[in-house]
Amino acid sequence: MKRKESDHAVGRGLRYSTVPESEYEKYAIRHETDTLIYALGGLGEVGKNMYCYEHNDEIVIVDCGVLFPDAELMGVDYVIPDFTYLQKNQAKIKALIITHGHEDHIGSIPFLLQYVHLKEIYAPRFAKALIEKKLEEHRLSRSVKIIEINSDSRVTTNYFNIGFFNTVHSIPDSLGVLINTPNGRIIETGDFRFDLTPIGTNSDYQKMAYMGQVGITLLMSDSTNSQVPGFSISEKKVASAILEQIRKTPGRLLVSTFASNVLRLNQILEAAVACDRKVAVFGRSMENVVEIGRKLGIVKIPDSSFISGNEMNTLPANKICIVCTGSQGEPMAALSRIANGTHKFLKIIPGDTVLFSSNPIPGNGVSVSAVVNQLTRVGANVVVNSPLTSFHTTGHAPQEEQKLMLNLVKPKYFMPMHGEYKMLVTHASTAQETGVKKDNCFICSNGDIIVMRDEECFIANERIEVDSIYVDGNDASGLSTSVIKDRQILANNGLVAVIVSIDSRYNKILCRPSIVSRGFIHIKESQTTIKEAELVVYEALKKKMQQRTTFGELKNCIRSSLEPFLFQKTNRNPIVIPVILNQKVAMEELQQKSSK
């Protein structure tokens, strides 16, 4: 979505400056030896993460994600970053580094590859498998080499020396990034939380503490849960709660969770097998993740424990566990189709239990509630997460865990990232509580540039022009953006069609124009306005057709005369569609002339 200028002004107003007024001019001039840090996505939004680090003739990119559209963006499949700057500076790009495999960090890679040639993508094991699957679907498998990295890996260019450290998140193989530059050290946490009893790899506490002792110039940290107080609960507590629920459920059990949370998924599957249940998996993304998880050894239950949709009818209800997508109320996901009775294999039987091992993402509450209501209506017993049940834990650090990261790393400067504007502001306040100076905290927007010079940081007085690109299908050309704007105008203001009959042989209007409205005003109640509008167009066309003209000029004449009139009368700007009908004899003459 395009950011309004007023929103940007608010962002700039609350940004903290590190530059004394008397030295502003000195700092305003960018030097070739400066290191630049900027985001093409991920600031002021939860999603579309893309952070760039530039020094002289080198650019290193961390993450390349999508933002899933809200209900206002009708017909939009994805929102992706604007790659224009990277396209212009393609020769500078040395590496794309991925922190983990969530869509808001890898989803834009196929679209980026349509604009920019990348030699290599560096990604942790599970993210690498997901990217390979994604590129295969887009027929881009041979377009780039994907190199697997872990916490011991190093990526080196002329100016950047990049290392990694393990973090805990709701997906395996999640990494934070240490970027050594000629002007200082940067840590980019990626998405993280702290779990003292995790399932899978633990956080690299010692490495984080060591980096803090060595000295970190700038910390860029995940802000998603910056307004959530306290600590998150452990994934092991969630696994224990799910096992207990499966054990006490008398009939068939359906569990819906995030497909990408493969460690949680494995816990659900293992708990089902431990309770002597067979498992059926529904939902394309869930099936892909289970396939990749089994291939990588993360999902460990045997083949004999899986059943297909056709086999479910051969087993007693208390011997079945169904795992499916749809925990966020997505209309086309498996759980929504099951609730509505449109799923190919599965319908709710009264007495079924549906367990949501998730919390609604902000903005999804209404759609999740609608699915829960429909499941209840058809006879299911719906169990959702709550502080009393502990069926879900977040993948993002709440306030106390954010403080722990700040205290381990001890940065001189701090830039909150990956969050809406209010989340960034709250995280900056948290950083100040741990000892970071207020003047050393940067609240930035996408496109703002932080300049790092000799281990000092300040905001540049220029910015990179960025926008959000709407994707309809797989088209990342930006053409969909104008289509979406038309849809928004139609939704808000409606449509007006102007039908004009002419005889092009004599440059003559045959009758007064006719106006048809859809979604703009009610015709019967606005006859006077419609008649006046028809007269306005008629007079404008008569004047225009006193001289030789073209069909294109006539259409522009209709729009330019009608649009101001309609706005004056209604304060609305509908889409105006001119329809010009030429007399049959005149059309035949035109066709004869054009064929000669």
Q: Provide the annotated active-site residues.
A: 222, 396
Which one, of 384, 337, 388, 393, lies nearest residue 365 by Cα? Answer: 384
One-character DSSP codes across 213-249: HH-EEEEEEE-TTTTS-S-PPPHHHHHHHHHHHHHH-
How far is residue 378 from each of residues 313, 348, 373, 451, measured CA to CA in Å? 19, 7, 9, 58
Q: Tell me which residue has tokens 């963006």.
A: 73
Look at residue 130 and give its three-state secondary structure: helix
Provide the sign of the torsion angle of the four alpha carbons 177, 178, 179, 185, taken in this order. positive
The single residue listed with the structure tokens 């799910």 is 242
Structure tokens at 555: 């259409």
Please, how many CA atoms are within 13 Å of residue 388, restricted to the half-sphere of its CB?
2
Q: Are 354 and 381 in contact (CB under 8 A)?
A: yes
C-alpha closest to that of 446 among 58, 27, 67, 78: 67
The CA distance from 112 to 584, in Å, is 50
Burial of 6 (0-12, 13-18, 19+ CB in 10 A): exposed
Look-up of token digits 């609350």? 14
CA 22 to chain centre: 41
Helices 205-214 and 399-409 pack at an angle, to 10 degrees, of: 50
